[in-house]
Amino acid sequence: MKIGFVGLGNMGGPMAGNLLASGHELKLFDLVDAAIAAVDDQAAVASAADAARDVDVFVSMLPAGKHVRALYLDEGGVLDVVAQQTLLIDCSTIDPQSAKDVAAAAAHRGIEMLDAPVSGGTAGAQAGTLTFIVGGSEAALERARPLLEVMGANIFHAGVNGAGQTAKVCNNMLLAIHMAGTAEALALGVASGLDPGVLSEIMKQSSGGNWSLNVYNPYPGVMDGVPASRGYQGGFLVDLMAKDLGLALQTARESGSSVPLGALSESLFSLHKNSNEAGHLDFSSIQWLYQPDLKP
């Protein structure tokens, strides 16, 4: 297939690289030349509009909703130049309303679009094992499936346009809540004289067991191979979790939902980010907020 790909950062770069390696013909664009060069200089084009012309599929992987809106909706943007039969796939994590608005504008011109945010991080992007959470029509998803299977290992159809973003927002809000809760319980136990490893084993086998505790333990030294055991380097950054919690609160406002635990988590992670300069650490470093004595 001929594929246009815009946004070649930490995620988009390796995703585009996997598409190239599987034999597809790509047209690449990023605002940063070095990001294109890191994938393949030969495939570079001069603008996002150039990447969108004369392709079967157009993929974007940008930081936030405002970038996605501008890319597709601005005058001379993607929707103004793309052919009607081109399938549009936005893999960025953005607010569901922006995803719905852009897809509606595309549909108005007879163009199919999917929101397909991912989980799995940069390691998953490199290994081609991402999880795609897709919003849009079944037919559009079937058109996209062969490409998504090159970049990912799991593909979920969440529902109509915007549903992929909504599902991703719900998941990451819950992730923040159980990570903060896990760190809080471990801090309580340690402050009261328990060993964090012993307490973790007890809770794992009891009703407190959850993903953050069981496979991503936030307490340094309890579990091998997790960010807590390497100074919280790598993993899923506090900056990205803070962004996703902002999206959760925005989504709650727009749907008239109450998310008291989500709101509290957003405050906890932003307090942690600011007071511990933790934006570039893994999100399990929230343990430091409860136990500043753990900081180096």
Q: Is residue 93 near ligand NAD by the rule CB under 6 A?
A: yes
Site string for ligand NAD, 226-245 (x = CB under 6 A): ----------x---x--x--
Q: Output the smallest distance, CB 149 to ligand NAD, in A.
A: 18
- Please tell me whether residue 99 adopts helix, strand or coil conformation: helix
Gap between the Cα atoms of 128 and 149, Å rounded: 8
Between 15 and 213, CB nearer to ligand NAD: 15
Contact 148, 156 (CB under 8 A): no
Scan residues 105-134 and list those touching ligand NAD (CB under 6 A): 118-119, 121-122
Nearest to 57 by CA among 31, 26, 93: 26
Asked if residue 7 binds ligand NAD (CB under 6 A), the reply is yes
How many chain residues interact with ligand NAD (CB under 6 A)? 27
Q: Does 135 bind ligand NAD (CB under 6 A)?
A: no
CB of 130 to ligand NAD, least distance (A): 8
Instruction: Give the separation between CA 118 and CA 12, rounded to whole angstroms.
Output: 11
Taking CB positions, which residue lies at the least distance from ligand NAD?
Answer: 9
For position 12 contacting ligand NAD by CB under 6 A, the verdict is yes
Q: Which two tokens stand for residue 200?
A: 């973790």
9-20 exposure pattern, b = at least 16 Cβ within 10 A, e = fewer: bebbbbbbbbbb
Judged by CB under 6 A, the chain residues 245 through 264 that form the site for ligand NAD are: none
Non-local (6+) Cβ contacts of 286 within 8 A are: 179, 180, 183, 218, 238, 268, 269, 272
Of residues 261-280, those binding ligand NAD (CB under 6 A): none
CA 278 to chain centroid, in Å, comes to 19
Contact 218, 228 (CB under 8 A): yes
Distance of CA 215 to the CA centre of its chain: 19
Spatial separation of the C-alpha atoms in residues 159 and 142, rounded to whole Å: 13
For ligand NAD, the binding residue among 3, 71, 82, 259 (CB under 6 A) is 71
Question: Is 295 designated active site?
Answer: no
Element (H, E) at 28: strand 25-29
- Only one residue has tokens 């084993």, namely 201
What the block records as the tokens of 5 is: 């790909």
Q: Which of 18, 86, 92, 161 binds ligand NAD (CB under 6 A)?
A: 92
Residue 9 engages ligand NAD in binding (rule: CB under 6 A): yes
Nearer to ligand NAD, 179 or 190 (CB): 179
Q: Is 282 in the site for ligand NAD (CB under 6 A)?
A: no
Structure tokens at 289: 């907020």
- CB distance 30 to 56 below 8 Å: no
Residues between 26 and 65 that touch ligand NAD (CB under 6 A): 29-32, 35, 48, 61-63
- The verdict on 8 binding ligand NAD (CB under 6 A) reads yes
Binding site for ligand NAD (CB under 6 A): 6-12, 29-32, 35, 48, 61-63, 67, 71, 92-93, 118-119, 121-122, 236, 240, 243
Any idea which residues carry the catalytic annotation? 168
